[in-house]
Structure 1
Amino acid sequence: MSMFQDFLKSGESNERRCDTPEALEKRRCSEKNIFNPEPSVDPLKDAELQNKKENVVQLRPQNLNLKLRVGVPETFTVTFKRAEGYPIDLYYLMDLSYSMQDDLEKIKTLGQEILNTLMRVTNKVRIGFGCFVDKVGMPYVSTVKAKLANPCPSRLDTCQPAFSFRNVLRLTEDAREFREQVSKQIISGNLDSPEGGFDAMMQVAVCQDEIGWGNVTRILVYTSDDTFHMAGDGRLAGIYQPNDGKCHLNRYGLYDKGNEYDYPSVGHLSRVLSANNIQLIFAVTEKSVPAYKALSELIPQSVVGELKNDSSNVVQLISEAYGNLSSTVLLEHLEAPQGLNISFKSHCGNGEPSDWKKSGKCNNVKIEQQVCQNCTVRRSEALRGASFSLKVNVETLCACNCGDREEGSPSCNGNGNLECGVCSCNKGHLGQKCECQRQGARNTTLTMEALCRREKDSQLCSGQGICECGTCVCRGHFRGNFCECDDSSCGRHNNKICNGQGICDCGTCKCHANYIGPTCECSTKTDKCTNKDNVLCNNHGDCECNRCKCHAGFIHDFLAEWTLDVLNACASWLIFQTSVKLCIRSLSNAQHMCSSNTLTRTFTHPIGAIDMTALVLGSSVSGVVLIGIAIIIIYRVLLEVYDRREYRRFLLEQQNVQWKENQNPLFKDATTTVFNPLHSEY
């Protein structure tokens, strides 16, 4: 931006001060008067990395102020050091369907062992417990009255009624309480193989207060021996309302909206788990491992471990899975404003840095190992897992801090302050130099507006500006007392204003040296009109715009060397012309030198007959090909129109569909009543 107060021409707006340094210097603004602010990075919170129990800092810096210019990237470094002993919240979510009976008995004795194992890698551990079965309704759970009360396959066994999800124990440090609450649990049962684990995981993630999640590493251990229901399966029971992703636990810890909302989708569940920084461990039996590995690929920060049939290896599985989870450092941005491009380069300490990517990731990071990420700009970046975040405040450099404020400046007629070469007028004054005092009387305003009209009935400032204090302030490239001059309206040659060889001044080209013409299209040089002997057009022509224009009876000398084949080709091009001179004259304009070789001397042989075979054959083949391409294009367009119409009809039918709950017509009630026809005779 130019800071020189007399830089603008008459009528030019203040916006013309802003341009590239080269353009400003070309417009005679000296380098010392150009203000060109540079982007900067200012750490607002930059605490040292530390491993103290009361205050663990793994990410540095924590808050940045970033000043940016449009189109100019800025890079800063983020450092992460994996701390030893970071606190852990572990929630154990268990499938209580009947096939998990032996697993439940084993878990009742493993609470203390799980805590002891995690205490080896951290100073503070809390553990919680929850369980799930499935939605209470057909075809997931039998709705026969007796089966609702005791869903066990055998009447000799005792099972608790089925439920969707129950939060049994909030996160606690007391292993004894964990053991007591788990020991009270009784197995349940359902009908179909897939389980309702998605409903349970959604409630565990969104019910922050009920579960008791803290600002620590959050781990959810999910154990099951079968696959899962997901979005859309609820329609089998007449449940068509999508999952709302909200907490619906009653005062007993039960999820009581299971028969109102469908199961969540994989994408919905993944997004909620990520937003709440919950790392997921799937502990499943051998037959279910492939399904959960495929699911794990869609959920960030999740791993799969194979669970023995009686869950005897669950402690070892949790320990190994925790090591895999916490050794991955992922840096990415959340909710960046539109228009900001963010990329990361990872320095993981294992050799060469990675390429620039949309997220930074380092695997197998050991305890006390430090990794760095280079980030080019922008808003808010956060690490997955523990809730450590780096906040980046982005400020766009749109104002100038020139440091040359002059209050009551004479350049502003004493009616304003001079800042960056521009007058900031006091109240009641206006104009580029605050030379005008605002008046309230209508006739005064009309008088001032009259000064902004070129003619009595013309537009104010020619319609290209606003009238301030009787002076036009023009928009864009317009200038002049009445904004009548447009420095971009000059004629073009070779698609360039003034042929790139002049300056547009109020609609007229002012050409540079050696160029003339309305658009500076004509060069006054003669270097292309002279031969090696420095003779101008062989003395048989005139040099116009650095090109020879031959006198009558003279042609360009390159025709003297033309062969009969070349002239035949020329005649073929002019199929129905009787005079070859037309062709020669039309082609002769491409050269600059003139000689005494006339048309008569050029033709020493007669022109041969014209062979039309190639022309006819080529035209026929081209026509067939073009017709075929046109037919294919028309067919594809019609097919696309048809497909779009069918797809719109399909969407409309989907919106109008209504699912109703109906009784299975093949179902027979277990109770049968028979009347004795002879009963009335006794």
Structure 2
Amino acid sequence: MYGISVFAFFYLFFVKIDYGNCQVQQMQNKLVCIEHNECGACLSAAAHCRWCADINYNSGAPRCNDDESLVNTGCSQGLIQRPEKSVWEVMENSSLQDMTPNSAENVVQIQPQRIHLSLKPRETKKIQFSYRPAKNYPLDLYYLMDLTWSMKDDKETLVSLRDDLPALLKNLTDNFRLGFGSFAEKPLMPFISTDARRRANPCSMEEEACEATYSYKHHLSLTNQVNEFIEHVNSSSVTANLDNAEAQLDALVQVITCGDKIGWAEHSRKIIILLSDGLMHTAGDGKLGGATKKNDDQCHLDDKGYYSDAATYDYPSIAQLYRLLEKYKVNVIFAVTESVKDHYDSLNQLLEDFTYVAKLESDSSNILKLVKTGYEDIVSVVDFHDDSNLGPVKIRYFTDCGVEGGPLKEETRCTGVEFGMTLRYEAHVILESCPEYKSFTQTIRIAESQLGQDALTLEVDIQCGCACSGAAQLDMSPMCPINAHFVCGVCQCNKGWSGPTCDCAIGDENASAELLAQCREPNTTRALTCSGAGDCLCGECDCDIGFTGRYCQCKMCDVSLENGLECGGVGRGVCACGECACAPGWSGPACDCTNDTNSCISPAGGDICSGHGECVCGRCECSVAGDSGAKYWGSFCESCATCHNPLCAHAEPCVACSLRHDCGARACARGVNYTVTELLTDLVTDNLTTCILRLEEDNLECEYKYTYSAKPSSGVEIMIGGKECYSPTSAKIVTSAVVIMGCVIAAGLIIVLFVKCGQIMSDRRAYAKFVKEAQESRKNMQELNPLYISPISEFKLPDSFPRDKND
């Protein structure tokens, strides 16, 4: 009986705790809703919030609440407004298609092409699409040449490439067209001489005849007839000007904007190759000669192909050129000489997305090489842009840049792209908040910045409003005050008006005491207007940044560092007056701590954190390895100084077959998505675990070092460094010989050392014996020897002998 009582006590205790937690959760859910007094704001607050649009709903309870509460307080079921259903529909999904011989219209480089979806506030939806550059995509190549006097030999070089030019372009694409135009300088003082004879023949100083100076001239529209192109280049005439700066920008604007006369195709890669040995004039320089009007970015070619208004409009600015390149999707290759290359390199830094700079030899002899390298550089870059900035939706891009099976990284720009390579993208479409509480559709176009012809169109339904706010509600508006209209069962003030009867213009500082009282939170000891964190405008609080609530009594909730959304966004939690009410499976101040432990399990399988740590917020926190005091390390605590690494063993078959280039379906699968990359440079092992694979190759034993980066979502990314090989038999013989020789030498040294030590000890003993005997001899003879005769003789001078005084 006593045991049953104890059990009942603990049972009731824990049930009470659980019941208390449920009550707290229910109170938080209600608190999220009841603060709102408009239908749109109510439904946007949380997924469980509902709005009562019943005109006869006279209850003192709030109109924004959960379903059960509204029914219990007398709201008609049929007039309860609920969030709209989510929308997701792929409307157009043609397969990727390369260029066909007959038509460029069938080319498909992006898939899918059109998606219809919906977004609620704080919601993120992921869209996957693929991009593959089409083979033999049409190329429109327009040669824009500086035909001032210093470029005379360059024109002759271009004519000499009659046979080599088509062969080069054939290697780039089967569908190409060529066009030709030239530029010089505005025919205005001080850019040219105003002398009548010099104006008619600017080359008279060189005693040769040439054409009068012009800004830009269009010679040949785009054509696939190479001979016709060469003939027009050959027949063109050079001209001259006074300074070393020309009208490159004037010419570029005309080439870009005069699409009908140039002949740009709708579906083509448009490239202008500009050859010059001079600097360029920019906006403002034209005013020196009287061209005072701002460049209007329009086409002004006359019937002969000349830029007719060069003397009227100023040179365009770099910003104008950038906008035109982006709008018309045109790329420019600046082929310039060494003397002015730095000038164009600076320009390229401002127009990096659409330009390429290459060094041109003084006679243009390397022009074909520059065309090839410039074209390959341009087509190897893929960069996606969108126009989502026109609305509230934001987009983040993740891509593998064509690495098959590789992890997705947040990036829009990929380099080193080759024809036939498929790039996988994932776009995160985010609606952080409602700009205004009404539903509308935003159309977003995602396109590759270099071409722009193929695009993914997103039709995004912004679900911020209510179905009851339509035109049918206008019939009830006469029931409302003069500055209000009827919306979803209540009278709502028109924009710019507020107060109980909508008679207070927002911005009016002479608010009455009654309106000020509506900005004070009731039942509080401190009756501060808007809780001291906002301004009272006609009975409504305009909260300072960081505060929210009807009386600005709540602080803003924490924002997730992962996605930048309040309380982690839809599905993770909602903001309940300054605190995040997290959904099941999430915790933390911003509901960004997942309780799911699957992300802590190694791709090779096994226990959570390999049994050497704890899974905290979806990440492993490793424990200490034994009594050594050192910690386990690795994404899954799989490594330590003395333990066997399971991921190294699990990855060995995939690394081995990748090195042999014979991986089958099983070797690199095994339930894990492996990405193996062989590095040409040194292996960098910072913050990565290093593994060693030993293989036998051509009777040699080789060691490969490789690192891995393991992530649950993208699998295991492996990078293999260089190898070290040696012959096992020869190595053993050499090792043995070295060991024997070392032992012999050591033994000899030891023997010599012992002999030498013996000699030294013997000499010391003999010397000690000699010294002892000598001492004994002196002692016995008392140092007197009758036979001893001293070798020293002593002589003394007589005292009477004269001496030097200095002696």
* TM-score where L is the length of structure 2: 0.49
Matching residue's letter, 1:284? V
Give the SS at the match of 1:373: strand
Q: Does 1:9 align with 2:61?
A: no
Displacement of 1:51: 1.2
Q: Which residue of 2 aligns with 1:193?
A: 244
Q: 1:243–1:264: 8 Å Cα contact kept in structure 2?
A: yes
1:179 lines up with 2:230 in the alignment: yes
Q: Which residue of 2 aligns with 1:78?
A: 129
Match of 2:191 in 1: 140
1 CA distance for matches of 2:130 and 2:527?
Answer: 52
Task: Describe the superposition over 1:399-454 as per-residue Cα deviations: whole angstroms up to 9, x where unpaired.
Answer: 668xxxxxxxxxxxxxxxxxx8x999799x869xxxxxxxxxxxxx9xxx8xxxxx
Deviation at 1:137, TM superposition (A): 1.3
For residues 68-121 of structure 1, the C-alpha deviation after alignment (integer angstroms, 9 at most, x for no partner) is 223323231231111211110000000001000100111123255333212213
1:380 is matched with 445
Q: 1:254 aligns with which of 306, 313, 321?
A: 306
CA offsets, 1:113-169, max 9 Å, x none?
333212213221010000000000122111111111111163422211110000000
Per-residue deviation, 1:182: 1.1
Deviation at 1:31, TM superposition (A): 12
Q: Alpha carbons of 1:464 and 1:102: their partners in 2 closer, same or farther (altered >3 Å)?
A: closer
The partner residue of 1:340 within 376, 380, 393 is 393
Cα deviation for residue 181 of structure 1 reads 1.1
1:205 lines up with 2:265 in the alignment: no
Question: Could you tell me which of 446, 451, 457 is aligned with 1:391?
Answer: 457
Aligned match of 2:635: none
Alignment-derived partner of residue 98 in structure 1:
149
> Which residue type is aligned with residue 64 of structure 1?
I
| Counterpart AA for 1:254 | Y
CA contact (8 A) 2:142 2:222 kept: yes
Asked if 1 retains the 8 angstrom alpha-carbon contact of 2:520 and 2:527, the reply is: no
Question: Structure 2 CA distance, aligned partners of 1:23 and 1:11?
Answer: 11
Which consecutive residues of structure 1, in runs of 5 or more, have no partner in the other structure? 402-419, 432-444, 450-459, 500-682
The SS at the match of 1:36 is coil
Q: 2:377 aligns with which of 321, 324, 332?
A: 324
Percent identity of the aligned residues?
A: 30
The correspondence of residues 256-271 of structure 1 with structure 2, limited to 5 A, is: 256-271=308-323
> What does residue 89 of structure 1 align with?
140
Counterpart residue type for residue 129 of structure 2: V
Which residue pairs with 1:354 in the alignment?
409
Q: 1:462-515 deviations in whole A, cap 9, x for unaligned?
A: x997799xxx955599999xxx99898623246899x9xxxxxxxxxxxxxxxx
Which structure is higher in RCO with an 8 Å CA cutoff and minimum separation 6? 1
How much has 1:393 moved relative to structure 2? 2.1
Q: Indicate conservation of the 8 Å contact 1:8/1:17, yes or no.
A: no
1:44 paired to 2:109: no
In the TM superposition, residue 365 of structure 1 has moved relative to its aligned partner by 0.7
CA–CA distance in structure 1, aligned partners of residues 456 and 117 of structure 2: 12
Mapping 1:622-661, distance limit 5 Å: none
Whichever residue aligns with residue 328 of structure 1, its letter is V
Match of 2:367 in 1: 314
For residues 36 and 143 of structure 1, do their structure 2 counterparts lie closer, same or farther at Cα, with a shift above 3 Å needed? same
1:341 to partner: Cα distance: 2.5
Partner SS for 1:239: coil
The separation in 1 between residues aligned to 2:470 and 2:335, in whole angstroms, is 71
CA distance in 1, matches of 2:393, 2:420: 33
Cα deviation, residue 66, structure 1: 2.9
Q: Distance in 2 between matches of 1:219 and 1:27?
A: 70
5 Å matches for 1:118-133? 118-133=169-184
Q: In the alignment, residue 311 of structure 2 is paired with which amino acid?
A: N
The worse-fitting range, judged by mean Cα deviation, of 327-336 and 312-321 is 327-336
Shift in Å, 1:17: 5.1
SS for the counterpart of 1:167 is strand
Q: 2-side partners of 1:71 and 1:10: how far apart?
A: 32
Structure 2 counterpart of 1:381, which letter?
I
Partner amino acid, structure 2, of 1:396: I
In the alignment, which of 270, 281, 299 is matched to residue 218 of structure 1?
270
Alpha-carbon contact 1:112-1:176 (below 8 Å) kept:
no
What's the counterpart of residue 287 of structure 1?
A: 339
User: SS of the residue aligned with 1:74?
Assistant: strand
Which residue of structure 1 aligns with residue 110 of structure 2? 59
8 Å Cα contact 2:57/2:75 also seen in 1: no
Q: Deviations over 1:541-575 (max 9, x none)?
A: xxxxxxxxxxxxxxxxxxxxxxxxxxxxxxxxxxx
Output the CA distance in 1 between the equivalents of 2:395 and 2:377. Answer: 27
Matched, 1:110 2:158: no
Q: Is the 8 A contact 2:51 2:64 kept in 1?
A: no
Residues in 1 aligned to 2:486 and 2:240: alpha-carbon distance in whole angstroms = 83
Aligned residue type for 2:94: A
Q: Is 1:298–2:350 an aligned residue pair?
A: yes
Match of 1:490 among 499, 522, 532: 522
The answer to whether the Cα contact below 8 Å between 2:99 and 2:136 also exists between their aligned partners in 1 is: no
Deviation at 1:389, TM superposition (A): 2.1
Aligned mates of 2:519, 2:198 — CA distance in 1: 88
Contact 1:327 1:364 (8 Å CA) reproduced: yes
2:202 to 143, 147, 151: 151
Residues 112 and 170 (structure 1 numbering): CA distance in 2 closer, same or farther, change over 3 Å? farther
CA spacing shift, 1:27–1:168, aligned 2, 3 Å: farther
**CA pair 146-43 structure 1, distance change in 2 beyond 3 A:** same
- The 8 Å contact of residues 12 and 473 in structure 1, kept in 2 or not, is answered as no
Distance 1:465 1:337, change over 3 A: closer
Q: Structure 1 residues 424, 102: CA separation in 2 closer, same or farther (over 3 Å shift)?
A: closer
Aligned in 2, Cα 1:340/1:109: closer, same or farther, shift over 3 Å? Answer: same
- Post-superposition offset of 1:291: 1.1
What's the Cα RMSD here?
4.1
Separation (CA, whole Å) in 2 of partners of 1:494 and 1:120 = 81
Quick check: 1:111–1:178 contact (8 Å CA) kept in 2? no
Q: Are 2:476 and 2:486, in contact at CA under 8 Å, matched by a contact in 1?
A: no
Instruction: Supply the distance in 2 between the matched residues of 1:198 and 1:306 (Cα, whole angstroms).
Output: 19
Residue 161 of structure 1 pairs with residue 212 of structure 2: yes
2:486, 2:492 within 8 Å by CA — same for their partners in 1?
no
Structure 1 residue 219 displacement after superposition: 0.6
- Cα distance between partner residues in 1 of 2:96 and 2:213: 49
Quickly say closer, same or farther: Cα 1:47–1:112, change in 2 above 3 A. farther
Q: Distance in 1 between matches of 2:303 and 2:391?
A: 43
Give the Cα–Cα distance (whole angstroms) in 2 for the partners of residues 20 and 98 of structure 1.
Answer: 82
Q: Which moved more, 1:246-255 or 1:78-87?
A: 78-87
1:241 shift after superposition: 1.4
Between the aligned partners of 1:183 and 1:466, the Cα distance in structure 2 is: 75
2:293 and 2:470 map into 1 onto residues whose CA distance is: 62
Query: How far apart in 2 are the matches of 1:137 and 1:86?
Result: 42
Q: Distance in 1 between matches of 2:357 and 2:72?
A: 66
How far did 1:395 drift? Answer: 2.0
Secondary structure at 2:123's aligned position in 1? coil
- Superposed counterparts of 1:474-553, under 5 Å: 474-475=491-492, 490-493=522-525
